[in-house]
């Protein structure tokens, strides 16, 4: 689902032109983004909770030098 998929029904439901619906959607997205950037979660009824998590580190050893390095674990793609 993208922004336009949300914007069109919002405009139809409020019987407003796309500009007011677009402004409302932008303010919602900005609010959610700011909460996620601050490390908070954002819950939207029916849709669920949005949150950002730091992936765990894996420690690997360089076989030639024996030095340990930490890398982020890869996140599974869906």
As a whole number of angstroms, the distance between CA 73 and CA 61 comes to 15
Would you say residue 12 has pLDDT above 60? yes
pLDDT digits (tens, 9 = 90+) for 16-59: 666 777 777 888 888 888 888 888 888 888 778 888 877 778 88
Pairing of strands 57-61, 42-44: unpaired
Structure-model confidence comparison of residues 8 and 56, the more confident one: 56
Would you say residue 66 has pLDDT above 70? yes
pTM, entire model? 0.52
| Contacts (Cβ under 8 Å, ≥6 apart) of 25 | 3, 6, 7, 10
């Amino acid at each position: 689902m993208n922004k336009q998929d949300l914007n069109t029904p919002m405009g139809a439901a409020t019987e407003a032109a796309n500009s007011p619906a677009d402004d409302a959607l932008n303010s919602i997205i900005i609010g959610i983004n700011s909460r996620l950037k601050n490390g908070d979660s954002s819950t939207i009824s029916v849709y669920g909770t949005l949150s950002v998590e730091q992936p765990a580190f894996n420690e690997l050893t360089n076989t030639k030098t024996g030095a340990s390095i930490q890398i982020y674990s890869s996140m599974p793609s869906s």
